[in-house]
């Protein structure tokens, strides 16, 4: 099921309390309409508060949340999503992802995916998807609910970790990719190649990194607590890199993974 998801969204990972309220509020004021959160971030209620205070109509917003590991059993998944909706102060989110594949065998990935599909059928979410899945796990998810029902695969992806195996498999199966950590925790700002490209275009290194992801066909969800950076990141949608720029950034791939908790799968 394809959905119209804004290609540049606002991430809220690691943002808490008033910090996340301010970030989301300012983002909405600047024109962001895609807000990404998760159960484990511990900020859904604050995101909901910022959304409610904003005055932006619900049908203008695209809200994503993610189901945490302890809630992957079918009954718990549905209960936890209803709890997320209450915190976010909405009747339905636009996209719900399984945040990480279950490192245990029970509940099975197939059972969790089918429960996610049930959540969509019950109207709790407009679309469903996955996050941090390997190729093998993506195939299991496809086998369980069909590729046409997987609206997004969200993975760590930036110039230093281009995750081509997973991204290519997603593309072949018609599953859109959302890149999280697109600025590599700010490391793109100090890269000389990206800096040179930015100088040539008269833009920031962050804008170059985001434009690269967008030109690759990915959605991006950078986060920031500074209004000027939030505004600057939005401008990446109007930057067009040359073929040489894209080739130079492609050469920066060094499989530098920044997020790999102990329960992570064995990466492709």
Q: Hey, which residues does 128 pair with through a beta bridge?
A: 96
8 Å CB contact between 21 and 52: no
Residue ranges of the annotated binding site for substrate are 99
Active-site residue (options: 41, 180, 185, 218):
41
Q: CA 215, CA 206: separation in Å to the nearest integer?
A: 14
Residue ranges of the annotated binding site are 99
Q: CA 209, CA 193: separation in Å to the nearest integer?
A: 11
HSE of 204, CA atoms in CB hemisphere, 13 A: 18
Q: Examine the residue annotation and report whether 41 is marked as an active-site residue of this protein.
A: yes
Q: What is the 3-state secondary structure (H, E, C) of 146-185?
A: CHHHCCCEEEECECCECCHHHHHHHHHCCCCEEEECCCHH
Active site residues: 41
């Amino acid at each position: 099921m394809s959905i119209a998801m804004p290609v540049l969204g606002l991430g809220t990972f690691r943002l808490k309390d008033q910090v996340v309220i301010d970030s989301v509020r300012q983002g909405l004021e600047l024109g962001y309409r895609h807000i990404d959160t998760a159960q484990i971030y511990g900020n859904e209620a604050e995101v909901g508060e910022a959304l409610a205070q904003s005055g932006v109509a619900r049908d203008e917003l695209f809200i994503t949340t993610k189901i945490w590991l302890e809630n992957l059993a079918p009954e718990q998944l549905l209960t936890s999503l209803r709890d997320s909706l209450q915190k976010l102060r909405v009747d339905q989110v636009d996209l719900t992802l399984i945040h990480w594949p279950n490192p245990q065998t029970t509940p099975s990935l197939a059972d969790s995916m089918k429960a996610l599909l049930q959540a969509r059928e019950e109207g709790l979410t407009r679309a469903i998807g996955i996050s941090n899945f390997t190729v093998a796990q993506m195939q299991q998810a496809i086998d369980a609910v069909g590729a046409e029902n997987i609206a997004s695969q969200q993975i760590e992806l930036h110039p230093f970790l281009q995750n081509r195996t997973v991204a290519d498999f997603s593309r072949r199966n018609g599953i859109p990719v959302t890149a999280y950590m697109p600025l590599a925790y700010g490391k793109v700002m100090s890269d000389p190649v990206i800096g040179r490209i930015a100088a040539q275009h008269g833009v920031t290194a962050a804008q170059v990194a985001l434009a690269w992801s967008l030109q690759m066909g990915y959605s991006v969800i950078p986060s920031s607590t500074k209004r000027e950076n939030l505004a600057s990141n939005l401008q990446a949608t109007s930057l067009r890199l040359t073929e040489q720029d894209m080739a130079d950034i492609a050469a920066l791939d060094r499989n530098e993974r920044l997020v790999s908790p102990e329960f992570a799968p064995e990466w492709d």
